[in-house]
Amino acid sequence: MPDSAYPAMIDILRDFLDDLASASLDETTIGALTADLSDWRGRLEPLKAGEDERMFGRVDDVPGHGQVMCPAFAIEEQDATSVRATVSFGDYFLGGNAAAHGGAVSLLFDEVLGIPANSGPAMMARTAYLHVNYRAITPMNRPLTVTATLYAVEGRKRFVRGELKDGERLCADADGLFLELLPGQQ
Ligand SMILES: CCCCC/C=C\C/C=C\C/C=C\C/C=C\CCCC(=O)SCCNC(=O)CCNC(=O)[C@H](O)C(C)(C)COP(=O)(O)OP(=O)(O)OC[C@H]1O[C@@H](n2cnc3c(N)ncnc32)[C@H](O)[C@@H]1OP(=O)(O)O
């Protein structure tokens, strides 16, 4: 989306969520923020649109397709069957004891494994299963490497493996089955 300020707005929204998650809030700040957010709800509500007209999560060439559900990852290398990206878990994704939330790690794997699972010209594939092993804590606020490789295709079934690493240390790995949708399948 050339010339749009949308990607920069999503970056700020990510930073905002990290700031909010890491702040110790006093009542005055909570009140002011509630009023501002409520004002924004009023402005956005009339702009509600169908899935095809929305931008959130539907923008190409922007980390995470322009959504904030999942930590933003930057693709460093990609071919027809594999992808390698850098990712950092901001404070918004904190689980506890300085480790990322396991659900955020799974969400990251779903997104990243979904790339080689959907890189061909065939119909889109949906996640049928995603098995995640948490091997060591995933540290916060530092660059990590996430990889995914399509290692087998059997009919509609696309099998993808992934790893999340802090340097040489394996934080988590995943195995996913993605099923190519049938024509007309949602
Ligand atoms: C429109 C797709 C959207 C996703 C892609 C979006 C964008 C892509 C763009 C760019 C790509 C970049 C990034 C991708 C980002 C994200 C990708 C994440 C996608 C998701 O996050 S998506 C949400 C979570 N996902 C669901 O919401 C699925 C709910 N579910 C269903 O919609 C059905 O369940 C379905 C369609 C999966 C299968 O249904 P079905 O009726 O077509 O197939 P059926 O059940 O007959 O299974 C056929 C053969 O697979 C075996 N099989 C099935 N399931 C299995 C399992 N769990 N374990 C082991 N084997 C399994 C059977 O045993 C049989 O095997 P066999 O033929 O050998 O007997």
Residue 42: pLDDT over 80: yes
Residue 103 CA to its chain's centroid (Å): 11
Average per-residue pLDDT for the chain: 96
At 65 the pLDDT is 85
CB-ligand 1 contact for 129 (6 Å cutoff): yes
- Rounded Cα distance between 98 and 104, Å, is 14
- Rounded Cα distance between 71 and 87, Å, is 7
Atom of ligand 1 minimally distant from the CA of 112: 13
User: Hey, which CATH number is domain 6-180, 2.60.40.420, 1.10.150.120, 3.30.465.10, 3.10.129.10?
Assistant: 3.10.129.10
Residue closest via CA to ligand 1's atom 3 equals 126
Residue 19: pLDDT over 80: yes
Token pair for 23: 């702040």
b/e map 150-170, b = 16+ CB within 10 Å: beebeeeebbbbbbbbeeeee
For strands 73-78 and 82-87, give the pairing. Answer: antiparallel
At 122 the pLDDT is 82
The pTM for the full model equals 0.94
At 138 the pLDDT is 98
Residue 101: pLDDT over 90: yes
Share of the chain above pLDDT 90, in %: 91
At 64 the pLDDT is 81
pLDDT in tens, 142-180: 999 999 999 999 999 999 999 999 999 999 999 999 999
DSSP 158-174: EEEEEEEEETTEEEEEE
Residue closest via CA to ligand 1's atom 11 equals 115
- Please count the other Cβ atoms lying within 10 Å of the Cβ belonging to residue 114: 21
More confident residue, 28 or 1: 28
CB-ligand 1 contact for 165 (6 Å cutoff): no
More confident residue, 125 or 1: 125
Q: Beta strands of the chain (E only): which ranges?
A: 73-78, 82-87, 94-96, 99-100, 125-134, 144-154, 157-166, 169-180
In the chain, where are the structural domains located? 6-180
At 114 the pLDDT is 96
